[in-house]
Structure 1
Amino acid sequence: MAGDPWLWLGLFILFAYGLEAVTGFGSTVVALSLGALLLPIGQLLPVLVPLNLLMSGYLAWRYRHLADGPLLLGGILPAMLAGTLLGYALLPWLEGAALKQGFGVLILWFALRELWRQRHERPRGHSPAWMTRLQIGAGGVCHGLFASGGPLLVYALAGTPLCKARLRATLACVWLSLNGLLSLAFLVDGRLAPALPHLALYLPLLVLGVAAGEWLHHRVAERHFRTLTYLLLCLCGLLLAWHA
């Protein structure tokens, strides 16, 4: 792709946050999977994580009364926090191409699983508690590596009795906590300061993307929008996994 990759990233951010406003889908997963085709993941994370922190903060505060406190504090956050710290510690030891390939496989798995689920619409069986904790911890590792632990965490929580609204509010609190921790880590390790000019430029795009997504929310069939997005993620996953 020709041109400045950071300009392309701005378009990806606009699309990703508009998508999340339409469907509730994770903006970081989309922006990172597209951005990783042009830029190193290590340069993208200090930009995308603080942007997501702002959106998560807004959602967590607005819908705080819907969050499941016992599940959040007693089940999700401890395992996700431990996994996130482990994933962040592993980052310096992973070679860039291997990191992109691993992320590509994760994105491809998630997109194919969602396409299969949409087609068959089969309810998922109940998982044992130890398996759920293991899946949540794995989601934390992915979050520490890619700031994209959502796919595994949502999969782990699929068998819980949380309604859609309570699940979204609880997840917003998770991302607020973990992305706040990652943003602090980026500040301490010196990666946040160089990203601040990009953050300032992309902040209006975040607001514009959310506004556009809310406008489209009542005008676009969510199922079709999601299908196109998952197909796009399949393509990104293949490109990242086999051409990193």
Structure 2
Amino acid sequence: MAHPAVIAHRGYAGIAPENTVEAATRAAAHAEPAMLEIDVQPAACDTPVVIHDERLEGSRDGRPLTDTAGLVWETPLEKLRETHVLGTDATVPTLAEFLAAVPETVGVNVELKNPGTTELRVGESLSPADRDQRREVWQPFVERVVADCRTFGGDLLFSSFCEGAIVALRAVADYAVAPLVWDDLEAGLEIARRYDCEAIHPPRNAIAGTHLAETDYAGFPAAEPAIDVLEVAHAEGRTVNVWTATNWVQFDALAAAGVDGIVADYPGLARDASD
């Protein structure tokens, strides 16, 4: 069986408060993760902070995401840094604070989640005019994210569901980048080709020939995908990192299919065949 790279989802969100410094240090203490995956958005002052949801009053399995409310990009940085995550002492960190807690032996997958707008074009392959317009929306935020990443000595991989974020990154930096796929494999592959992306990140049920394709997830129906994204991406020289494995059965199926990396919620899902 193949041994794909393990990417700790939000810093192993299954065992620690997601996207926090505590999650970073706990995930990095494990031997297996090659990378930590995180989400970035701007605070009200435009400083990049590490958090997934647009709104602070979200929930996880019935538990409040934070102890405050409002849009992330309308919230002062001082308040965000005092906002507790999932009922713990951990608070929302800046991107710079998060990266400072990660050893350079562990890479970071920075997902460009939102530049501070409710008008996102998620999963779309855009027309040339729309690409220019969305690049202008994203570029100021992407420039700030890249500036915070310059001092990090480990590997960096950027990803986004939004083509505007990818075109903005290509305009300001020479980092590896991957489109995240949402409900349209062909659009994801088009974007990957358009910007010569080093990788592509489809959801777990978009991998042909696995039992996971028989489940609804991430905008895809329970059906064998029409495109073998693994075959096509590998033929084009791209890495395929799949999200998100929540148990070892899913991890094993994806590893057996030959994916290059698996975003995982928990440590210990990568098992040897003898285990």
* TM-score (normalised: structure 2): 0.27
Higher RCO, Cα 8 Å, sep 6+: 1
Greater per-residue strand proportion: 2
Higher Cα Rg, which structure: 2
* TM-score (normalised: structure 1): 0.29
